[in-house]
Chains A and B, each alone.
Chain A
Amino acid sequence: MLTVPAHTRTYWATALVLAVLAVLWPLLGESDLSLVGVGLGYAVAAVGVDIATGYAGQPNFGQSAFMAIGAYAAAWLENSQGLSLWQASLCAIILCALLATLLGLAAVRLEHLGFGIVTFAFAFVAAAFLQGGALSDITGGPNGTPSPAGSLFGYDVTQPRTLYGVALVVLIVATFLSHNFVRSRAGRAMLTVKGNEKVAAVLGVDATSVKLRAFALSAAFGGAGGVLIAISAGFVTPASFPPAASVTLFGMVALGGVGTITGPILGAMFFWLVPSYAPGLEAKQTVFIAAVFLLVLVVLPSGVFGTVADLVARRRPKLRWARPLGPARGQPARDVRGDDRLARVGERRGRVNVNE
C-alpha cells in the first residue's frame, strides 16, 4: 500500500495547472483538443481515485467500472428515456455514487488490501455484466450503444472545442469539491481513519461512514469522467472501459502523487498524451505504463508532484515547520527545575512526597 503524505495546501498548484489547461483551450487545434479533452476525462476519474486511495486509504481499483456505468447510463437515459444531456449525465453520476455506497457497505469493512481486491473484482464483474445479454436492451451487448450527445446550453458537445470546455469545467468543479472535501472535517476524518482506525473510533469518528462518503465521491467522479470520454468517442462499447483501465488510473495517481489532487491531473495527462504523441509508443502502451509505474514506485514513491510539494514544504522558513518549543514571547525562561515543579503540584494538593 502506498503511504504518501497528503498535501492539503496544494490548491495554488491545482489552480496553476487548470489555468494552463484553460490557456490551451483557444490555442490548440481540433485534433489536439479532442485528445486532451479525453485526457481531461481521465483526469476527473483519476482525482476520484485519489480521494478514495490517497485520503481515505481505500484503494479504488474499480474506477473503470464506474466510468463504464456512468457512460452507459447517460447514453441510455438520453437516447431512450428522453432526458437532456445534463440531466442524463447528472443521473448517471448519482447512480455511480449510489452503486459505490452499496458496494462499499460490504467492502469498507475489509482491512488492508481487501477493499482493493473487492473493487478490482467489481471492475471485472461489471465489464462482464455490461457486455452480457442481461442488459443488452440498454447496453447493446458486445456491440455497444451510441454515446450521449446533443447540446449543452445551445452548444454541440460533440465538437472537440465545446467538449474540451465542458471537460475543463467538470475538472474545475471536481477539483474544487475535492479540495473542500479534504480540507473539511471529512478530510481530517479520512486521514485519521487512514492512519489508525482504532484511534479514529476512540475519537468518535465513524470510520465506515467516512470511507463510504469518500468512495461514493470517488465513484461519482469516475462516472463523470466516463460520460466525458464516451461523448468524445461517439460510441460506448465494453472495450471503452476495460478493467485494466483501473490499473492505468491507479498508475496516473501514483505517477502524479497520491493524496495531492494536482498530481493525478498531471499523471492522467502524461499517461494519456505521451503514448498518443510519441511515435510507436501507442502500440506498446501497456508496457510503457507498467514501466513508468514501477519506476515511479521505486524512485519517486511520493509521485512527481508529491516529491515537488515535499521539497517546497522543506524549503519553507523553519519558523513555520520546526521551531523548538521555548518560552513564549514576553514570558520569562524557566528558572525552576522540572522535578521541583512536579513537587509543587503535589504540595498544592496537600501531598507528601513518598521519596522524602
Chain B
Amino acid sequence: MSSETSPCGQRQIERPAEPLLVATDIRVAFGGVAAVDGASISVAKGSCHGLVGPNGAGKTTMLNALSGVVRRQAGEIWLDGARIDGLSARRRRRQGLARTFQNPSLVPDLSVLDNVKVGLFPVLRWLSWRDILGFGLARAGERRTAAAADESLDAVGFPVRRRHVRASELSHGDQKIVDLARALAGRPRALLLDEPTAGLTVDEMSDFAGVLDRQRRDYGATLLIVSHHMRFLNDLADAVTVMESGRVLAEGSFAEVSARPEVVSAFLGEYDATF
C-alpha cells in the first residue's frame, strides 16, 4: 500500500500499489518431481519483495521460471501488464526483467567495466559491422556504452580506480556488487536477485543492503529477492512470500508472516513432545 495527500484536503488516502510482476499458478516439474507446484506471486511496482523458504522449497526454480531460465509447465507470468511467459530469457531481459545468480557469473578475463557493458545489450543497438571496421561512430558508441556502464557502477558505489581490474581479481563480495551493477545496467523494470547475500561478510552484506535500498529509493527499482538471511530481508523487504514444497505457504509483511505458526514450523519443524 502506498499513501499520498489528497489534493482537496489533509486526509491521507491509501491506494493499493500497482503490481509490476505477477505470476499465477506456476508449475515447474523435473521428471515426476514438481519443484514449483501452482505457486503465485505478485510484486508491487517500486517495492522490495522477499521470497523465502526452507531448502528445496522451490524459490530458485520460481526465479528461474520467472526469468525464463527454465520452462514452466503451467501458469502465466505478466510484467507491467504484458504477458511474458511465452518469451525466451533474452526477450524477457529486453522487456525489462533482469536477474542475478547465486554465483556471480562474470567473464573472468574482462575488466569490471567491460563486464557491466555486457549488461547494456538490451538497450543499445547492435552495430557489429561498424564495430569491426572501428570507425569513429563505433568509437562514439563505445564511449556512450562506457558512460552508461560507469553510471551503473556509480549507482552501486564501485570505486572508479578499480573499474579496469580483471573480474577474476575481485573478491566474492565485489563480484556480487559488479554482478548487481551489470543487472542494473539499462535500468530494468524489475530485478530478481537469487541469494544476494550468500558468501558475503556482514560488512559486505550491509553495503549490499544499502545499495539495494538506494536503488529502490532513488530510482524506484522493483526488487524480488530470494534470501536465507532473515535479518537482511526484515530490514529491506516490504512484503514477503514464504514457499514450502513448491507451494506458497504465506504472504504478507515480514512481521505478519514470521508470526504465523505454519511458517515457523516450516523453518524449524514441529515440536515433538514425546521426544
Residues of A that sit less than 8 Å from B by CB: 5-8, 176-177, 180-181, 184-186, 188-189, 191-192, 195-196, 198-206, 209, 213, 217, 320-325, 328-329, 334, 337-343, 345-346, 348-349, 351-355
Is A321 touching B232 in the complex (CB atoms < 8 A)? no
Given contacts A186-B131, A345-B213, 19 further A-B contacts (CB under 8 A): A6-B109, A8-B110, A184-B132, A185-B124, A185-B128, A185-B145, A188-B118, A192-B118, A195-B105, A195-B107, A198-B69, A201-B89, A202-B89, A202-B98, A341-B206, A343-B235, A349-B236, A353-B234, A354-B254
Q: How far is the CA of A198 from the CA of B93 in the complex (A)?
A: 12
B255 close to chain A: CB less than 8 A: yes
Closest residue on chain B to residue A178 by CB atoms = B132
Chain A CB within 10 Å — which of B69, B132, B159, B164 has the most? B132
> Residues of A contacting B134 with CB < 8 Å?
176, 180, 184
Shortest distance from the beta carbon of B251 to any chain A beta carbon, whole Å = 17
Contact A8 B109 (CB under 8 A): yes
Say whether B128 contacts A213, CB under 8 Å.
Answer: yes
B108 touches A5 (CB 8 A): yes
B205 within 8 A of A: yes
Is A204 in contact with B90, judged by CB distance below 8 angstroms?
yes
Let me know if A203 and B182 touch, CB within 8 A.
yes
Smallest CB-CB separation from B165: which chain A residue?
A321
Contacting pair B182 A355 (CB below 8 A)? no
* Residues of A with C-beta under 8 A to B110: 8, 188, 191
A-B pairs with beta carbons under 8 Å apart, 18 shown: A5-B108, A176-B134, A181-B131, A185-B126, A185-B127, A186-B131, A196-B105, A198-B89, A199-B101, A204-B94, A205-B118, A322-B165, A323-B161, A329-B161, A337-B202, A342-B206, A351-B234, A354-B234
- The complex places the Cα of A340 from the Cα of B205 at a distance, in Å, of 11
Give the residues in chain A near B131, CB-CB below 8 Å. Answer: 180-181, 184-186
What is the CA–CA distance of A258 and B189 in the complex, to the nearest angstrom? 39
Contact B231–A342 (Cβ < 8 Å): yes
Q: How many residues of B contact A (CB 8 A)?
A: 63
Residue of B at shortest CB range from A214?
B128
Docked complex: B97-118 residues within 8 A CB-CB of A:
98-99, 101, 105, 107-110, 114, 117-118
Most chain B beta-carbon contacts within 10 A, residue among A191, A213, A355: A191
When distances are taken between beta carbons in the complex, the residues of chain B under 8 Å from A349 are 213, 235-236
Q: Which of A185, A201, A338, A346 has the most chain B CB atoms closer than 10 A to its own CB?
A: A185
Residues of A within 8 A of B118 (CB): 188-189, 192, 200, 203, 205
